[in-house]
Chain A
Amino acid sequence: MQALFGQLLIGLINGAFYAMLSLGLAVIFGLLNIINFTHGAQYMMGAFIAWLLLNKVHIGDWQLGYWSALVIAPIVVGAVGVIIERTMLSRLYKLDHLYGLLLTFGLALVIQGLFRNEFGSSGLPYQIPSLLQGGVNLGFMFLPIYRAWVIVASLIVCLTTWYVIERTKLGSYLRAATENPALVQAFGINVPRMITLTFGFGVGLAALAGVMAAPIYQVNPLMGADLIIVVFAVVVIGGMGSIMGSILTGFGLGVVEGLTKYFYPEASNTVIFVVMVIVLMFRPAGLFGRER
Chain B
Amino acid sequence: MNALKQSLLALAIAGTFVAGAAHAQISDNVIKIGVLSDMSSLYTDLAGAGSVLAAKMAVEDSGIEKRGYKVEFASADHQNKPDVGSAIARQWYDTDKVDVIVDVPNSGVALAVSQITKDKGRVFLAVGPGSSDLTGKACSPNTVHWAYDTWMLANGTGTAITKQGGDTWFFITADYAFGQALERDTTAAVTKAGGKVLGGVRAPINNQDFSSFLLQAQSSKAKVIGLANAGGDTTNSIKQAAEFGIVKGGQSLAGLLVFLTDIHALGLNNAQGLIFTETFYWDMNDQTRAFAKRFAPQDKGIHPTMVHAGVYASVLHYLKAVEALKSDDGTKVVAKMKELPTDDPLFGKGSIRVDGRKIHPAYLVEVKKPAESKAPWDYYKIRATIPADQAFRPLADGGCSLVK
Contacts and interface: CB of A to CB of B under 8 A. Distances in A.
Contacts of A106: none
Interface centre among A120, A141, A262, by most B CB within 10 Å?
A: A120
B45 interface: yes
Contact of B232 (A3, A144, A218): A218
Contact of B213 (A123, A146, A217, A261): A261
Interface stretch (B7-15, B66-74, B236-244, B392-400): B236-244
Contact of A123 (B201, B232, B245): B232
Contacts of A266: 175, 202, 204
Contact of A265 (B202, B206, B236, B265): B202
Contacts, number: 111
A142 B245 contact: yes
Given A6-B215, A10-B215, A124-B265, A217 B208 contact: yes
B267 interface: yes
B269 A265 contact: no
A267 to B, nearest CB: 8
Contacts of B264: 122
Contact of A11 (B202, B212, B245): B212
B16 interface: no
Nearest to A258: B212
A227 interface: yes
A160 interface: no
Interface residues of A, number: 42
A227 B204 CA distance: 14
A226 B206 contact: yes
Interface in A1-50: 3, 6-7, 10-11, 13-14
Given A120-B45, A261-B213, A220 B232 contact: yes
Nearest to B38: A121
A116 B219 CA distance: 38
A125 B244 contact: no
Contacts of B44: 116, 120-122
Report the contact-size class of chain B (Cβ under 8 Å from the partner): 35 or more
B302 to A, nearest CB: 8
Contacts of B298: none
A270 B240 CA distance: 22
B27 interface: no
Contacts of A222: 41, 232
Contacts of A157: none
A269 interface: yes
A166 B266 CA distance: 42
B83 interface: no
A115 B249 CA distance: 36
Contacts of A223: 208
A128 interface: yes
A141 B244 CA distance: 10
A142 B236 contact: no
Nearest to B46: A122
A122 B204 contact: no
Interface in A146-177: 146-147
Interface in B10-59: 40-46
Contacts of B175: 265-266
Nearest to A261: B212
Contacts of B265: 122-125, 218, 220
A3 B218 CA distance: 10
Contacts of B236: 217-218
A90 interface: no
B215 to A, nearest CB: 5
Nearest to A220: B232
Contact of A216 (B207, B215, B243): B243
A3 B204 contact: no
Contacts of B41: 116, 121, 222
Nearest to B172: A265
A54 B275 CA distance: 29
B211 interface: yes
Interface string A208-250: 0000000111101011001100000000000000000000000
B235 A121 contact: no
B42 to A, nearest CB: 6
A122 B245 CA distance: 23
B211 A13 contact: yes
A7 B201 contact: no
Given A125-B267, A216-B240, A217-B209, A141 B232 contact: no
Given A6-B215, A226-B208, 20 more contacts: A3-B219, A10-B212, A121-B43, A122-B235, A122-B261, A122-B265, A125-B265, A127-B269, A135-B245, A141-B218, A144-B245, A215-B243, A218-B236, A218-B266, A220-B232, A222-B41, A265-B201, A266-B175, A267-B204, A269-B204
16 contacts: A3-B216, A10-B212, A13-B211, A14-B211, A116-B44, A120-B261, A121-B43, A125-B265, A144-B244, A147-B243, A216-B243, A217-B209, A261-B212, A262-B216, A265-B204, A270-B204
